[in-house]
Amino acid sequence: MTILSVNINKIATLRNARGENYPNLLNTALDIVKFGAQGITIHPRPDERHIRYKDAVDLKKNISCELNIEGNPIKKFVDLVNEVKPAQVTLVPDSEDAITSNSGWDTVTNYSFLRDIVDDLKSNSIRVSIFINPDIKMLEGAKKINADRIELFTGPYAKEFPNDRYRAIEQYVKCSEVANDIDIEINAGHDLNQNNLKFFCQSVKNTKEVSIGHALITESLYNGLESTIKSYLQILK
């Protein structure tokens, strides 16, 4: 079964809107785990407009499941991760003012930069995933960097899925086959939802983990958080 890691950035956005601690981010994360999710994902940004750096510390101390921290590896981020020591770090090349992640790393051009950071994080026993577009060269570059996993950017898949699901998934399947051959594990994330997730996981059978936030939280407005998480878990079985 592919692991479901719930991205709780949107819960933090809602909390911060009133300058109070409601909804309580930690309590919501604990409920998400209670409802069956196997992981919690956060993506702190330098301006802390949703997830705050302190949230990462509090979550690591209190949740029983895997914590995945995503972000651009600026010094402040790397220092945080080395302090918290989550189960997994996902390195994402987003700019400081990005609304959301919209592209993966060029692992060839950024080889030296990423290799040094990966080595540093892995020396603290942190699993490292590199966020990439579904490009075999970038996948092979991530392997050379010594990353444990890659996270396939599924935005293009989700955009094309309503028009032609088979064309949408084609490059991801090719990447999954190469990943299997060169022994690097696969995560996936961005714009996955209850409509397109099942086909993705049926096609990319070696997907270890999906990180889903925006769609899951949005769907929860209509169906409730517990019911929505259980629907995702059923899809992933």
Identify whether the C-beta of residue 152 lies closer than 8 Å to the C-beta of residue 186: yes
Residue with tokens 């996270």: 151
Q: Which of 43, 50, 66, 209 is catalytic?
A: 43
Q: Is 190 a catalytic residue?
A: yes
160-169, long-range: CB within 8 Å, 24+ apart, which pairs?
A: 161/195, 161/196, 161/199, 165/196, 165/199, 169/199, 169/200, 169/203, 169/204
* CA–CA gap between residue 49 and residue 235 (Å, rounded): 32
Catalytic residue chosen out of the listed positions 70, 151, 209, 219: 70
Compute the C-alpha angle 86/92/97, nearest 5°: 115
Nearest-5° angle of CA 61, CA 66, CA 71? 90
| Known catalytic membership, residue 214 | no
Structural tokens at position 149: 């996993």
Question: Is 50 labeled as catalytic in the residue annotation?
Answer: no
Asked whether 146 and 85 are in contact (CB, 8 A), the reply is no
Query: Closest Cα partner for 215 from 228, 206, 199, 204?
Result: 228
Q: Determine which one of 66, 151, 190, 219 is catalytic.
A: 190
Which residues are identified as catalytic?
A: 43, 70, 190
